[in-house]
Amino acid sequence: MEGLGIILMYAVIIGVMWFFLMRPQKKEQKRLQLMLSEMAVGDAVLTTSGFYGVVIDISEDDVIVEFGNNKNCRIPMQKAAITQVEKPSAE
């Protein structure tokens, strides 16, 4: 009987650890998916490599981001490379 109690205790501890480790990760994935689905042309974005740019075109899995002020640097990239989106101000 004591062996069953120890196994049950380990199962509960593993379950609690899984809950506290997996829940924040799933929450972050949902937030990221929502952010990417609401992204529109003209939004300012931050890429995973640390570059700021403006979205000029969006397709199903890819975006074209324009970097710099000279309008010459346009780079296509996957949506997964976007970490932050900021809507333009209404001024």
* pTM, rounded to two decimals: 0.69
Model confidence over 51-60: pLDDT tens digits?
Answer: 999 999 999 8
pLDDT digits (tens, 9 = 90+) for 51-87: 999 999 999 889 999 998 877 889 999 998 999 999 8
Give which of 91, 90, 87 is closest to 42, Cα–Cα. Answer: 87
Inter-residue contact 44 to 88 (CB < 8 Å): yes
Contact assessment for residue 60 and residue 76, using Cβ atoms and an 8 Å cutoff: no
